[in-house]
Structure 1
C-alpha cells in the first residue's frame, strides 16, 4: 500500500513539473530558444529512440558506465574488507584516503587524458575513481556494525579469522555494500556523461549533448539528452532498489517498505 502511494505521489510530481515547464514554454515567459515547451522536448527524446547514431552513443556511455562501476566494486569491496578488518592497515592509509576522496574527478580529466589518451580508458578511469569511495566507505562502516556477539560465538567454537569474515561479517556487511553500489551507480553515470561533455572526444550521450549545445537552436536536443540521462539513472536506481529488497529482506528499512 505504501509503495503504491509513493508511486502515485511520484507520478503526480512528474505531471506537475511537466505541466509547469509546458506552461512556461507556451506562455513566452522564457524564449523558446532557451526553454522550449516540455512536450517538444519529450517528442524529440522519443524521436531520438529511432536514431541509430544516438542509440550507438547511448550504448557507448552505458558500456563505460558498466565497466567503470564493475571495476570500482572489484577494487573497493576487498579493500574495504581489509581496512575494516585490520585496524593497523586502516590507520596507515586513512590519511591517504581522506586526501584523495574529496578530489573532484572532473578536475582530473586533463591529467588522465594525457596519461591514457582520448578514449574509453579515460572515461573508465575517472568513473572508477569517483565510484570507488561510496562502496569502500560503506564496506568499512558495515564491518563496524557487525554484531560482536555473533563473531565471539564463532571464535568460541574455534573458527578462525577468515571463517568469521566469510560467515558473519561479509553477510552482515552485504546490505551496506549494496547501498554503496547503488550510490556509486548514479555517480558513475554522472561521470560518464560529464567526462564526455567536458573532454569533447569519443562517442556517447555527453558528446551528443555537447555538440547540440553548439548548434543555433540546440537547446531542445540538449534537454532531450538530459531527459534520456535522467530516465537511464532512474531506471538503474529502481532496478538496484528492487534487487536490494529481494536480496536483503531482513533489514529494518526493507521490512518497513514491504
Structure 2
C-alpha cells in the first residue's frame, strides 16, 4: 500500500497555489464579507433619518410660531395692523396661488435669479481659472478686484436705474455683480490649490498647459466651486428680490412692495413666506447638484 500523500486539496484544506521555491501558498479568494455594504447602507439610512428628523423639527417649530402668533394677535397682544393672524396670511396665500399674477411674479423672479447664477458661476469660474493659470494677470487685476468687491450692490441701484432703467435687466445686473465675487475669489484659490507633488508629476510627464488645466486644476477647483455656487445662489436671490422691491421690477419683490403700499399686510406676509420657501428650495437644489457631481463643498485637497 502506497503511503504517498496527494497534493490535491481535501475538504478541510484550502486550495493552494505554487509559490516561490516550490512552496505552496493558499490561493487568494475574493472578499465576500457583506459587512462593508451593510455599514454603508446603515450610514445612508441614518443620514436620511437625520435629515427627516431635522426637517420635522423645523416644521414643528414653524407651526408652533404660527400658532403662537395667531393666539397673540387674536388676544390683542400684537397689533393686527402689523401682525395679521396666521390664518389670514394662509388664506391670502391660497387666494394668490389661484391667480395668474402669482405664478407670473414667481416665474419672473426665478428666471432672473437663474440667469444671474449662471452668468456669475461661468464668468467667475473662467476668470478665476485664468488668473490661477496666469499669475501676472492677478498682479494686474488685484487692485481692481479689491476695489470693486467690497462695494455693496444696493449702493449701485441709482447708477443701474440711471443707465439701464427699471427693466428686469437692472435686477439681473445687480445680482450678477453681487454673486460674481462669491465665485471669483474661491475659483482663484481652487486653481492654486494644486499640491506641489501633483504639479511636479505633471511636469515630469510633460503635460501641456491644456492637460494641466483639464486633469489637475479643474478637479482641484470643484470643491471650492461647490461652496461658491451655494453662496452665489443665495446672494443672487437676495439681490433680485431687493431690486424688485426698491426699483419696482416685476416679481415677488414687487408684489411685496405693492401689498405694503395697499396696506394689505396679510398678502405682504404671504409673499414674504413664498420668498422664504424659494430660498429653501434654491439651497436644496444646489446641495442636490453637489451630491450628483460628487462634491461636498470641502475646500482643500
Q: 182-191 or 3-12, which moves further after superposition? A: 3-12
Residue of structure 2 aligned with 1:16, choices 50, 53, 61: 61
In the alignment, what sits opposite 2:271? Answer: 225
In the alignment, what sits opposite 1:72? Answer: 120
Q: Does 1:188 align with 2:236?
A: yes
Q: Give the unaligned 5+ runs of structure 2.
A: 1-45
In the alignment, what sits opposite 1:242? Answer: 288
In the alignment, what sits opposite 1:203? Answer: 250
Aligned residues: 251
Residue of structure 2 aligned with 1:95, choices 143, 146, 150: 143
Structure 1 segments, 4+ long, off by >3 Å, are 249-253
Q: In the aligned structure 2, how far is the partner of 1:108 from the partner of 1:250?
A: 34
User: What value does the CA root-mean-square deviation take over the aligned residues?
Assistant: 1.9
Q: In the aligned structure 2, how far is the partner of 1:95 from the partner of 1:51?
A: 50
Q: In the aligned structure 2, how far is the partner of 1:133 from the partner of 1:165?
A: 22
- The CA deviation at 1:251 is 7.2
1:86-165 correspondence runs (5 A): 86-165=134-213
- The CA deviation at 1:231 is 0.7
- Aligned in 2, Cα 1:231/1:78: closer, same or farther, shift over 3 Å? same
Q: Give the unaligned 5+ runs of structure 1.
A: 254-258
Does structure 2 conserve the Cα–Cα contact (< 8 Å) formed by 1:75 and 1:132? Answer: yes
Q: Deviations over 1:9-39 (max 9, x none)?
A: 2321332233224313322321122112334
Normalised TM-score (structure 1): 0.90
Q: Which has the higher contact order (CA 8 A, sep 6+)?
A: 1
Q: In the aligned structure 2, how far is the partner of 1:33 from the partner of 1:8?
A: 36
Does structure 2 conserve the Cα–Cα contact (< 8 Å) formed by 1:22 and 1:37? Answer: no
Does structure 1 conserve the Cα–Cα contact (< 8 Å) formed by 2:227 and 2:298? Answer: no
1:15-34 correspondence runs (5 A): 15-27=60-72, 28-34=76-82
Q: In the aligned structure 2, how far is the partner of 1:41 from the partner of 1:55?
A: 18
In the alignment, what sits opposite 2:27? Answer: none
- The CA deviation at 1:137 is 1.1
- The CA deviation at 1:158 is 0.8
Does structure 2 conserve the Cα–Cα contact (< 8 Å) formed by 1:25 and 1:32? Answer: no
1:54-73 correspondence runs (5 A): 54-73=102-121
Q: In the aligned structure 1, how far is the partner of 2:295 from the partner of 2:126?
A: 24
- Aligned in 2, Cα 1:67/1:250: closer, same or farther, shift over 3 Å? closer
Secondary structure, counterpart of 1:208 in structure 2: helix
Higher radius of gyration, 1 or 2 = 2
Normalised TM-score (structure 2): 0.78
Which structure features the higher share of helix residues?
A: 1
- The CA deviation at 1:249 is 5.2
Q: In the aligned structure 1, how far is the partner of 2:166 from the partner of 2:91?
A: 33
